[in-house]
């Protein structure tokens, strides 16, 4: 079904994170996002000393082993370039200029960095192949969702109706006021002035047009729930970064 709400649930443990329990139960996939915690910034390209940030990543990897042995991250540029990861990926790989990842293999955990932008989780449950995309307004306008869905269909030799989608923790429509040029770029409609933009609603509408039959959106808002999440917009640009993650664990 399109437009059903599906909230990530907090998990206990040293690393602050929330997960889609139903994706684990129904598809055998690990799909989640880290939280703010007591300053659990995972932004690799922030002002914070890299060693501190790296130590947090290592703590997260520690919680994900032994189900995963390869960890794929991109230095994101708000475009739509994707990287496809094979079964031999091991350790931590950081790729330049990549905003989305795909894999058909278990043991590979995909990451995107977020703090208002939407993490788009895509899965082909029949094969276990997954894709994880980073999409703010620029990425949506550039066709990130369409590119990612097409790539996952190619990878699985499947069709859009066999793919399931979730739009994760992101800024909500109420909290995200943007100018007319952003509305024009994302929605292809002329707005006379500034107004709120719901990125996840736009993505769900696009998913429906693509032929995806099952798409959901998180009810969590990064700006409404700043006690749990980082928000670039609500912090005036000084907050840290969370990561969304998606993969099929080794059995
Ligand atoms: Zn909000």
Tell me the per-residue pLDDT of 225-248, one tens digit each, with 9 for 90 and over: 999 999 999 999 999 999 999 999
CA of 172 to the centre of ligand 1 (A): 4
CA of 211 to the centre of ligand 1 (A): 28
CA of 222 to the centre of ligand 1 (A): 6
pTM of the predicted model, to two decimals? 0.97
Enclosing domain of residue 152: 2-247
How much is the pLDDT for 219?
96
Q: pLDDT, tens digit, for every residue of 34-92?
A: 999 999 999 988 889 999 999 999 999 999 999 999 999 999 999 999 999 999 999 99
CA of 126 to the centre of ligand 1 (A): 34
Distance CA 64, CA 249 (A): 9
CA of 159 to the centre of ligand 1 (A): 33
Number of domains in the chain: 1
Specify the residue for token string 């949506």. Answer: 140
Q: Is 226 left (phi over 0), alpha (psi -120 to 50) or beta?
A: alpha
Short-list 144, 192, 199, CA closest to 167: 199
Q: What percent of the chain has pLDDT over 90?
A: 92
Give yes or no for residue 28 having a pLDDT over 60.
Answer: yes
CA of 223 to the centre of ligand 1 (A): 5
How much is the pLDDT for 139?
96
CA of 117 to the centre of ligand 1 (A): 12
Element (H, E) at 75: strand 70-75
CA of 221 to the centre of ligand 1 (A): 5
Residue 199: which CATH number?
3.60.140.10
Q: pLDDT, tens digit, for every residue of 102-142?
A: 999 999 999 999 999 999 999 999 999 999 999 999 999 99
How much is the pLDDT for 144?
97
Distance CA 240, CA 128 (A): 31
CA of 85 to the centre of ligand 1 (A): 34
CA of 226 to the centre of ligand 1 (A): 9
Q: pLDDT, tens digit, for every residue of 147-164?
A: 999 999 999 999 999 999
């Amino acid at each position: 079904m399109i437009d059903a709400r599906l909230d990530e649930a907090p998990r206990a443990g040293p690393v602050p994170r929330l997960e889609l329990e139903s994706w684990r139960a129904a598809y055998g996939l690990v799909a989640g996002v880290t939280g703010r915690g007591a300053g659990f910034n995972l932004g690799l390209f922030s002002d914070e000393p890299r060693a501190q940030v790296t130590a947090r990543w290592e703590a997260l990897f520690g919680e994900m082993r032994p189900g995963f042995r390869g960890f794929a991250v991109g230095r994101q540029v708000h475009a739509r370039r994707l990287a496809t990861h094979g079964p031999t990926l091991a350790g931590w790989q950081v790729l330049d200029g990549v905003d989305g990842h795909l894999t058909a293999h278990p043991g590979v955990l995909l990451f995107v960095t977020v703090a208002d932008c939407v993490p788009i989780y895509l899965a082909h449950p029949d094969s276990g192949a997954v894709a994880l995309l980073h999409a703010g307004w620029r990425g949506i306008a550039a066709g990130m969702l369409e590119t990612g869905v097409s790539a996952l269909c190619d990878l699985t030799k499947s069709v859009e109706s066999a793919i399931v989608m979730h739009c994760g923790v992101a800024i909500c429509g109420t909290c995200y006021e943007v100018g007319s040029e952003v509305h024009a770029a994302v929605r292809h409609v002329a707005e006379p002035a500034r107004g709120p933009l719901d990125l996840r609603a736009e993505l769900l509408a696009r998913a429906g047009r693509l032929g995806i039959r099952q798409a959901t959106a998180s009810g969590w808002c990064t700006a409404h729930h700043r006690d749990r999440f980082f928000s670039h917009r609500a912090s005036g640009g000084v907050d840290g970064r969370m990561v969304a993650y998606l993969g099929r664990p080794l059995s």
